[in-house]
A and B are shown apart, each in its own frame.
Chain A
Amino acid sequence: MLDASDDGYVTEDGRKIGGVVMEMKNITLRFGGVVAIKDISFDIRQGEIRAIIGPNGAGKSSMLNVISGFYVPQEGEVWFHGKKRPPMKPYEVARQGIARTFQNIALFEGMSVLDNVMTGRLNFMKTNIVQQAIWRGKAEAEEVENREAVEKIIDFLEIQHIRKTPVARLPYGLKKRVELARALAAEPKLLLLDEPMAGMNVEEKEDMSRFILDVNDEFGTTIALIEHDMGVVMDLSDRVVVMDYGKKIGDGTPDEVRNNQEVIDAYLGVSHD
């Protein structure tokens, strides 16, 4: 296992990983009689790329929804920045600095890329509806300020050429990138990515991997991601949680996980009695 002292650890490529940002303690989540997550504990550390993997139906997306506060687990505790987090509305979670992308893209299809990314800045807008209707003055200054932040993200993700294009007209790979841009616009401390590479071709996957690494490197954002593509997961992440049938069956560096017999069984299949 990793040296999980409270000061963090140093990755193979020399990045310093800090203390625990988020800790999941004995989480259990049920939908009626179905147990989606069963007594799972793990932590996410400052600055790391943490992957959650597992076969279909393992409970990965449910886990992400627990982290994002969308689901409230029946048992267990979520600790964020050293404090126990009470049940919260999703917008309250967003204000705490957690942003996410979705497995099925959830953008405003009729709006331009720029407007979509601007919606990510909502938490930085303080003017009320009347001020915004008048616009001149306070709302204008606020928009200029937020537009600048958004333009930096557009530049970072290299989507300048589609700035004014309605999202509905974009190919799938670019939509994914726009979604990432919107999540980044919220300047999250913790970024949750739900299958960022699903449905992409090899080139798009390479681009997306590059962007995820760059986001982590450039902004120091902590990232938790769910991904099916094992090659991508193993290359990108610092530590991996493996789930199967709602249980945690492995946790560690990609190499440790790769050699874990239970993980191999879950992926290659053994008879479950």
Chain B
Amino acid sequence: MAQTQSGAEGMHSLPALLHRNATQFGDAPAYREKEFGIWQCWTWAETAAEIRALALGFLELGVEKGDHIAVIGRNRPAHYWSMVAAQMVGAVPVPLYQDSVAEEMAYVLEHCGAKYVVCGDQEQVDKVIEIQENLHQVKHILYTDKRGMRKYDHSQMNALEDIMAEGRAGHYRFDAELDRRISEITYDDTCVMLYTSGTTGKPKGVVLSNRNVIESARNSAEFDHLTRNEDILSYLPMAWVGDFIFSVGQAYWCGFCVNCPESADTMMTDLREIGPTYFFAPPRVFETQLTNVMIRMQDASALKQRMFNYFMDHAKKVGGRILDGKPVGLIDRLKYALGNVLVYGPLKDTLGYGRIRVGYTAGEAIGPEIFEFYRSLGINLKQLYGQTEATVFITVQPDGEVRADTVGVPAPDVEIRIDDKGEIYYRSPGVFVEYYKNPESTASTKDPEGWVATGDAGFIEESSGHLRIIDRAKDVGKMADGSMFAPKYVENKLKFYPDILEAVLFGNGRDRCVAFINIDLTAVGNWAERNNIAYASYQELAGHPRVLETIRSHVEEVNKSVAADEMLSGCQVHRFVVLHKELDPDDGEITRTRKVRRKFVEDKYADIIAALYDGSETVSTTTEVTYEDGRKGSISATLQIVDVPVVPVSHQKVAAE
């Protein structure tokens, strides 16, 4: 496993892989982007030429070895090219989240000391200029979209394509220098720096070497038998390690094609047009799609509904087993084949999953029903568990051993151990080099032997060898009576209901648990429409008595299911409120990757929590909100507190249905 694949000698950097791809299969498609309604395509040979022109342009700008080049923008070929071009000249690419507000961006830009910034459009340029007023370190801003940029002072600014043209024109002057810099890249040089979103404190810059990225890409590609014929859709934030590994690491290692959507809003249409063979999405995407399918089926004709229900029931029975290669009777197989023609096939096609060979979901737990739904259609959807610090892969589910409640076995070359407190540690070739300019954090996360603490609590299931995650290690606590408090476990159960978008459980050190709930506007809004319930705002819908009643019944069901778990039966929800606003990354309540910042939420809504515990029936509150452009406002509301019956738990016998 660990030795280098034949023909990959000297493949110690992405520029080297690019060169291999361009020479061995230069005519194969490398990038596609939908522009002006048409998929534009670049072959590997063309890509290599574009990236080289860009690298020459960087040299002309005076980029030095070791400089940091920030990239802020949506998934576009030019942005991926900027990152590889940066590596060619010995610089370090730092992709940033494009939707972060200026102050977050200011911190990261200052911390990495970026001298050059590649911006997607005017909006990002404006943010960088605003930051630059206090931070005089950026030497040059580059932008991809020329729109609206004409009037700017261009003394320290240029369009990316103009820099490429200058690079091409000046190639006689810089060719030798560029070749020298490419030849100097070693396996242990920094490949990329990615900032973790940080559920606590400031973001940390994770330094990943070429070794980390290439070995992780190779191992995972071999694990799933990825070839250069794959097509992927790149739509997840470029600053996220997953996108870097899928759209850059694996794409360059395997030589497959990266497809970029036209805009964030057209992602679903573009997904359908491309029909990727290898696909990654957070559970949220699958949930949204399933919700949309169900909503549309409710509007379909009676015949279609009956057909859908009949065959979906059958798929639920045998679909997963057929996918896992387990024995299934001939009649059932024939019936499934018929269903495939009538229902599953067309449905998969509509969703854009007609060609999927391997699909992954990670980041959050996925609802078992959602997971089974996709698998029963014959979509090979699997789970993995990973971290930026591990260059993604810690555990993955092998084909045929896929379950909703585990995250799989250790990925190739990864070792795992669980300490006595239940925290998961791992060691692998993908383990990050360091946190940039932060030796204390590096030392506290990674021990001298290379073991890294994940911060997650879990255990390895003895029967299967699969890892199961319980919660964030620091979030797992104790209730007043000493029983275990694992909020994520309960929250996930709540979030599996389409009506519930987000849930936050409180109860650490208390005698009972209470919860905040966010409704899902799409699902609940549609339900309201069908039931002739009028509402003027999110706030009004969230406070509607019938909505509260529905949510209460969901919570009650969750309580029953939680009570059945011996370890966690104390975590039943006694009271809850439906919040008057969605938890939002702009308000700092959740991270950009949509993980709840528990402590922050607890402090911000202390008044509501107090009311949940003191037995009052309503609570009036005023909340500060941040608009997309950074302005602040506030909303006030009176929230209804709802009591929920709990299943009594005795320590001898667990009362459950």
Binding site for B on A (CB under 8 A): 13-14, 147-148, 151-152, 154-156, 158, 160-161, 163, 210, 214, 217-218
Contact = CB atoms under 8 A, between A and B. Distances in A.
Contact of B266 (A151, A161, A214, A218): A161
Q: When A and B form their complex, which 4 residue pairs have the shortest distance between CB atoms, in order from nearest?
A: A161-B265, A151-B36, A151-B37, A161-B266
B313 interface: no
B36 A148 contact: yes
B650 to A, nearest CB: 56
Contacts of A152: 36
B262 interface: yes
B288 to A, nearest CB: 15
B266 A155 contact: no
Most B C-beta atoms less than 10 A away, residue of A14, A161, A163, A218: A161
A13 B266 CA distance: 35
Contacts of A147: 37
A154 B35 CA distance: 10
B269 interface: yes
A47 B466 CA distance: 68
B326 interface: no
A13 B148 CA distance: 14
Given A151-B36, A152-B36, A163-B37, A158 B150 contact: no
Contacts of B263: 158, 160-161
Which of B37, B147, B150, B269 has the most chain A CB atoms closer than 10 A to its own CB?
B37
Given A160-B262, A160-B265, A160-B266, A154 B37 contact: yes
A218 B36 contact: no
B36 A214 contact: no
Contacts of B269: 161
Nearest to B148: A214
Given A152-B36, A160-B263, A161-B263, 20 more contacts: A13-B151, A151-B36, A151-B37, A154-B36, A154-B37, A155-B35, A156-B147, A158-B263, A160-B37, A160-B262, A160-B265, A161-B262, A161-B265, A163-B37, A210-B148, A214-B147, A217-B148, A217-B150, A217-B151, A218-B148
A218 to B, nearest CB: 7
Contacts of A218: 147-148, 150
A156 B38 CA distance: 15
10 contacts: A148-B36, A151-B36, A151-B37, A160-B266, A161-B262, A161-B269, A210-B148, A214-B147, A214-B148, A217-B148
Contacts of A214: 147-148
Nearest to B146: A218
Most A CB contacts (10 A, CB to CB) among B36, B262, B263, B269 go to B36
B267 to A, nearest CB: 9
A14 B38 CA distance: 37
Contacts of A160: 37, 262-263, 265-266
Contacts of B147: 156, 214, 218
Interface of B: 35-38, 147-148, 150-151, 262-263, 265-266, 269
A6 to B, nearest CB: 25
Contacts of A13: 151
Contacts of B151: 13-14, 217
B325 to A, nearest CB: 40
A158 B38 CA distance: 15
Contacts of B37: 147, 151, 154, 160, 163
Contacts of A14: 151
Contacts of A163: 37
Contacts of B35: 155
Contacts of B262: 160-161
A158 B150 CA distance: 19
Nearest to B38: A151
Nearest to B268: A161
Nearest to A14: B151
B538 to A, nearest CB: 15
Nearest to A156: B147
Nearest to B267: A161
Contacts of A148: 36
A14 B150 CA distance: 12
B36 A155 contact: yes
B490 to A, nearest CB: 37
Nearest to B265: A161
A194 to B, nearest CB: 25
Contacts of A161: 262-263, 265-266, 269
A154 B263 CA distance: 12
A163 B266 CA distance: 10
Contacts of B38: 151
Contacts of A217: 148, 150-151
Nearest to A217: B150
Contacts of B36: 148, 151-152, 154-155
A269 B36 CA distance: 50
Nearest to A155: B36
B106 to A, nearest CB: 24
B75 to A, nearest CB: 15
A235 to B, nearest CB: 15
A140 B320 CA distance: 48
A151 B263 CA distance: 14
A236 B374 CA distance: 51
A148 B35 CA distance: 10
A9 B150 CA distance: 19
Residue of A160, A163, A214 contacting most chain B CB atoms (<10 Å): A160
A108 to B, nearest CB: 20
A13 B265 CA distance: 33
Nearest to B628: A203
Nearest to A151: B36
A148 B37 CA distance: 9
B410 to A, nearest CB: 41
B34 to A, nearest CB: 8
A163 B34 CA distance: 13
A218 B149 CA distance: 10
A164 to B, nearest CB: 8
Contacts of A154: 36-37
